[in-house]
Chains A and B, each alone.
Chain A
Amino acid sequence: DAGVTQSPTHLIKTRGQHVTLRCSPISGHKSVSWYQQVLGQGPQFIFQYYEKEERGRGNFPDRFSARQFPNYSSELNVNALLLGDSALYLCASSLGYGGNYGYTFGSGTRLTVV
Chain B
Amino acid sequence: GQSLEQPSEVTAVEGAIVQINCTYQTSGFYGLSWYQQHDGGAPTFLSYNALDGLEETGRFSSFLSRSDSYGYLLLQELQMKDSASYFCAVTNAGNMLTFGGGTRLMVKP
Residues of chain A whose beta carbon lies under 8 Å from any beta carbon of chain B: 4, 33, 35, 40-45, 48, 55-56, 58, 90, 92, 97-100, 102-108
Contact = CB atoms under 8 A, between A and B. Distances in A.
Contacts of B71: none
Given A105-B44, A108-B42, 16 more contacts: A41-B102, A43-B43, A43-B99, A45-B98, A45-B99, A48-B95, A56-B94, A56-B95, A92-B43, A98-B30, A99-B31, A99-B48, A99-B90, A100-B31, A102-B45, A106-B42
B87 interface: yes
Interface in B34-66: 41-45, 48, 50
A114 B33 CA distance: 35
Interface residues of B, number: 24
A90 B30 CA distance: 23
Contacts of A106: 42
Contacts of B31: 98-100
Given A42-B101, A98-B30, A104 B95 contact: no
Contact of A99 (B30, B42, B43, B100): B30
A56 B99 CA distance: 15
10 contacts: A4-B42, A41-B102, A43-B87, A44-B99, A45-B96, A48-B96, A56-B94, A103-B43, A105-B43, A108-B42
B89 interface: yes
User: Which of B42, B95, B98, B100 neighbours the largest number of chain A CB atoms within 10 Å of its CB?
Assistant: B42
Contacts of A56: 94-96
A107 B95 contact: no
A45 B33 CA distance: 14
A90 B45 CA distance: 14
B99 A107 contact: no
User: Which of A48, A58, A102 neighbours the largest number of chain B CB atoms within 10 Å of its CB?
Assistant: A102
A43 B36 CA distance: 12
Given A104-B45, A108-B42, A99 B33 contact: yes
Interface string B86-109: 010111001111111110000000
